[in-house]
Amino acid sequence: MRRVACFTMVMLCGAAAFGQGLLDCIEPDVLRALLLQSQGERPLVITAAVPRELAALKMPGQFIWIGSAERITGRLDANTNISSVAAAWRSALGSDAARAVATSALVASGWEIRQPPTGLSVFSTAAAFPPQLCRDGRSIYVNAGTMEGVTYLLLTIPRGNPDDNCSQPAPTIPVVSSTFVPYLPQLALPVDPSTGTTAQSGSSSANFGTSVSARTEFTLSDSVANVGRHFAKQMAEQGWSSDAIWSGASTAGSSWSRPVEGGARILGMLSVTVFDARQFVAELRITRLQ
């Protein structure tokens, strides 16, 4: 508490008085999680209290509470400020895992996931981590990053104006009509075992009326067999029946099928290829049997 209070005094002193001597009294977690993540010139108000919007939130034991910071960003009227408050925890979890666990805790406390429109998206870099959650017309954003081996989780809550995105139904993007589009799998990219973070990619999809083709490229330190099994597990979990699974030195793949309305079936062919040990290409082609 002494260091949190000291940090609050430093912030209120202003940039002119901000010197190396004052930095010595700042709790390192407060500095990394709240100060370095903030933007703008308005001063922060640091507190050890949990924001009122998170009163019902029960964070799992993997998270250690740091504190919260509020920044005034404007005025709604004479009595109401517009601000943004960030609540911070530290954890030994990887950043992706921290976001996933925190999101589950928020849902359990009454927040609802606001999923963005996906269109024909098949491959995703973070399928389990929604960018926004809503409750009572308010929003919360989940972010996590790692510094010096420690993951810092930030839950950011805008205050003042109601959030239009959370006050209205989620928008949808129309897609080309096809009998199998509702059955498209959503495949999350694997986590890199050397870093603990989800692989980043560029992905594309195309609808040809009677077939869909999806492709993604990403960098990963893992074997092609493990990546093939990673995608195959998700196909099985989403209701697809396996026909064959194979792997070699540089390629892996699997074939799948599932029934659709009207007694027809759709077939899926998944392939993974590795180039130069770390460069991967994954492709999924789904075809409706006539």
Domain boundaries, the chain: 2-116+126-167, 181-288
**Cα(29)–Cα(89) distance, integer angstroms:** 9
pLDDT digits (tens, 9 = 90+) for 1-14: 333 334 333 333 33
Total residues belonging to the chain:
290
Whether residue 120 is predicted with pLDDT greater than 80 in this model: the reply is no
For residues 73 and 40, give the distance between their C-alpha atoms in angstroms, rounded to a whole number. Answer: 9
Whole-angstrom distance, CA of residue 72 vs CA of residue 253? 53
φ, ψ at 63 (rounded to 5°) = -110, 135
Query: pLDDT-derived band of residue 82, with 50, 70 and 90 as boundaries?
Result: confident
Residues 46-60 pLDDT 10s: 888 999 999 999 999
Look up residue 149 and give its DSSP letter.
Answer: T
Q: Distance between CA atoms of 196 and 221, rounded to whole angstroms?
A: 11
pLDDT-above-90 percentage for the chain: 26
**How far is 133 from 113, CA to CA, in rounded Å?**
4
Whether residue 281 is predicted with pLDDT greater than 60 in this model: the reply is yes
Q: Residue 273: in which H helix or E strand, if any? A: strand 265-275
Q: Which residue has the higher pLDDT, 119 or 11?
A: 119
For position 43, what pLDDT does the model report? 65
Most confident of the following: 30-44, 107-121, 262-276: 262-276
Per-position b or e across 102-121, b if 16+ CB within 10 A of its CB: bbebbeeeebeebeeeeebb
The mean per-residue pLDDT over the stretch 121-128 comes to 63
Query: What is the model's pLDDT at position 191?
Result: 86
Going by the DSSP 8-state scheme, the letter that residue 241 receives in this structure is E
Look at residue 48 in the predicted model and tell me its pLDDT. Answer: 87
Residue 256 has pLDDT above 70, yes or no: yes
What are 135's two structure tokens?
Answer: 């409750």
Say what the pLDDT of residue 81 is. 66
Report the share of the chain in percent with pLDDT over 70: 66
Contacts of 203 (CB under 8 A, 6+ apart): 121, 122, 123, 124, 214, 215, 216, 217
Give the per-residue pLDDT at 80: 65
Residue 102 pLDDT greater than 70, yes or no: yes
pLDDT digits (tens, 9 = 90+) for 145-178: 888 888 999 999 888 765 556 776 655 444 444 5
Rounded Cα distance between 267 and 243, Å, is 10
Query: In whole angstroms, what is the distance from residue 189 CA to residue 205 CA?
Result: 15
Beta bridge partners of 202: 217
Average pLDDT score over residue span 53-74: 88
Query: What is the model's pLDDT at position 4?
Result: 38
Return d(Cα 259, Cα 241) in angstroms, integer.
9
Burial 17-45 (b: 16+ CB within 10 A, else e): eeeeeeeeebbebbebbbbebbeeeebbe
- Which residues on neighbouring strands pair with residue 77, listed in sequence order? 80
Identify residue 258 by its one-letter amino acid code: R
Query: What is the mean pLDDT of the segment spanning 200-213?
Result: 68
Q: Nearest-CA neighbor of 145 among 26, 33, 48, 29?
A: 33
Instruction: Say if residues 54 and 68 touch (Cβ distance below 8 Å).
Output: no
The stretch 111-122 carries a mean pLDDT of: 67
Per the model's pLDDT, the better-predicted residue between 277 and 219 turns out to be 219
Q: Which residue has the higher pLDDT, 225 or 212?
A: 225
pLDDT score at 72:
76
Query: Residue 174 in contact with residue 200, Cβ under 8 Å?
Result: no
Q: Decide if pLDDT at 64 tops 90.
A: yes
